């Protein structure tokens, strides 16, 4: 029993050390403090990604700045596993946001006009409606999709599996496909 416990902790120790080293490197690379990054996190075009202090990024997240797209992640933000943030213009996530698992936050989509239907989807031009902004203290449940041109005010809660296609004011609860206000928060 003691040997098994020792072996268990002994095998975990190298992984713990590697995770600590990886987090130190990311903190230096992004010039931030308190950044914790899970396994298999992918960044593209990091010069356009600003990550503030005390941010947690879960396993298998994909933070994708395409061309000159800007991504700003505020202080005290938590991104759960499998979150994808994509930007070709600008995505801003305010301070204190909590992002559930399997969430998509984007400022663009692939166009699908009659003129582009003959082009394979991957090669179609990207369409932008404007920047995507999450105000401070926004909470996105699991599997939420926040699409191009959306601004969510402060203290907005979005229920799991919702698709947010338009902007909403502060202090509301959203749910549905497409998302709509189901409650006002006092």
- 65 beta partners: 87
118 is catalytic: no
Q: Which of 72, 84, 108, 110 is catalytic?
A: 110
**Residue 1 half-sphere exposure, CB side, CA atoms within 13 Å?**
0
Of 24, 48, 43, 50, nearest to 35 by C-alpha is 24
Cβ partners under 8 Å of residue 182, min gap 6: 159, 173, 174, 175, 176
Distance CA 107, CA 42 (A): 18
Encoding tokens for residue 15? Answer: 């992984």
Any idea which residues carry the catalytic annotation?
A: 110
């Amino acid at each position: 029993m003691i040997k098994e416990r020792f072996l268990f902790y002994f095998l975990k120790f190298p992984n713990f050390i590697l995770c600590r080293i990886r987090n130190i490197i990311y903190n230096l690379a992004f010039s931030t403090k308190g950044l914790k990054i899970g396994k298999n996190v992918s960044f593209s075009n990091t010069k356009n990604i600003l990550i503030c202090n005390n941010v947690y990024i879960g396993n298998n997240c994909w933070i994708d700045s395409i061309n000159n797209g800007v991504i700003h992640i505020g202080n005290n933000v938590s991104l759960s596993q499998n979150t994808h943030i994509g930007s070709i213009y600008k995505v801003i996530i305010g301070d204190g946001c909590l992002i559930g698992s399997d969430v998509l936050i984007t400022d663009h989509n692939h166009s699908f006009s009659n003129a582009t239907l003959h082009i394979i989807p991957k090669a179609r031009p990207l369409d932008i409606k404007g920047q995507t902004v999450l105000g401070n203290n926004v909470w996105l449940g699991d599997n939420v999709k926040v699409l191009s041109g959306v601004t969510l005010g402060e203290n907005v809660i979005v229920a799991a599996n919702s698709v947010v296609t338009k902007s909403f004011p502060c202090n509301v609860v959203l749910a549905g496909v497409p998302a709509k206000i189901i409650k006002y928060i006092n």
